[in-house]
Chains A and B, each alone.
Chain A
């Protein structure tokens, strides 16, 4: 899987050796750009344009109705004196730090279970993948809210075992575990990628290890983990970025307010409230750009540190 980019690059470089006239190449380019045009228009109008305008707005005081007023770095400066902003950073970080590893662990564990050959494999694979297909939808957040509410199934189930937590939805210290459970449950997408990665690991490696008397734990740490590390890295990166952007489920579960007591005031939710409830679009834009910068830095750190633990086949270690 990791070798494909190199292969395709090689095949590309051999292509121009065929003789071609420059006129023909010009026509090719024109056709190429023509086919690219719809995407390019969309990209410029719907992505680049809004990004530039939001960057501009982040330096202004803009209330959606009146023309924006330039205030320089004021928005960025006030951010760090805003207690709710700091709270939203805390909430989001704890979600990313606890939710993402748990989700990936669940995805990897289930992927390994589903990798072996047994009866009804197809059924299990779809069954485990299903939650993430519907998981992002609003309806699931509503169902989740009902399940964890006062005398909902979770509350009833736990009291059967003598654990009386009451409803989770109204309890500020239980909403974060609930949100993390919701994301862990939606492990389907990374699971499918793990599954594809596991299939790439040559079976003879395991056979050889078995012959040398290696147990399952040893096989996992000495074969599966290093062979899978590029896939783990990919999933970790994607899921981390994804987790920073959590919005819909938080919006539904907290009635759009980040409650109870600010315990689900996720970064993007606060950003949205600032922009569309308080009419402070400049402030919200500043928050958005700060998020872009922070996610960029985290991605960079991941790439830098990955050298020590991600192994591509063909590397010496």
Chain B
């Protein structure tokens, strides 16, 4: 389309404004972590590293980070296993109810988090609590894994659809059995999709707050819950500022790794 010069300029300006809208808030969070003042008023009266060292020593934030990492690793492990199993079933077999399964996998992330949250909450409290298993880290992991399965599934199934089964058949013609063909042929083919899926699952779990609210017991506090609980406390503001800034900086990591892993998985969004 041959756009006029002024239309091009207008679009450039609009896009520039758009990118500014996207990045100014994130930049503000970074700058604010150096704000010596406890209030969020702009412009900050000066810059200091003091709160970064204070935040580093903060027991609550550290404990919450650790809980988040444990929950994320647990949920990712379960999601990797279950998501891969479904992906292989859907991509390599024809069976009744195949489309229904692809739908059910997406459901936990398609429905509002609060619906998933109260559903799991009431199920846990009616089924698990009589058995003596209260809400805690375990139930958080179960809840997170449920909506993390879809990202592993999506990545692995996309890869399997692109690689036909003929490689495995060739390996078997050459004498490899099912397991040998999997270890030597199939697994290397899907490895980077698994890594990308696992990374997405971990990030999704790490960021989740709604389902966590409903599946965590009283003493279990993940990092998002910690931030949410401390966000409105003026006393904690500087530490929250630093934690938020760290999370903004860390968000570059998964995108970098995903880009390195493979170009195709990186452009598929986080869903």
Decide if A and B are genuine partners: no
Binding site for B on A (CB under 8 A): none
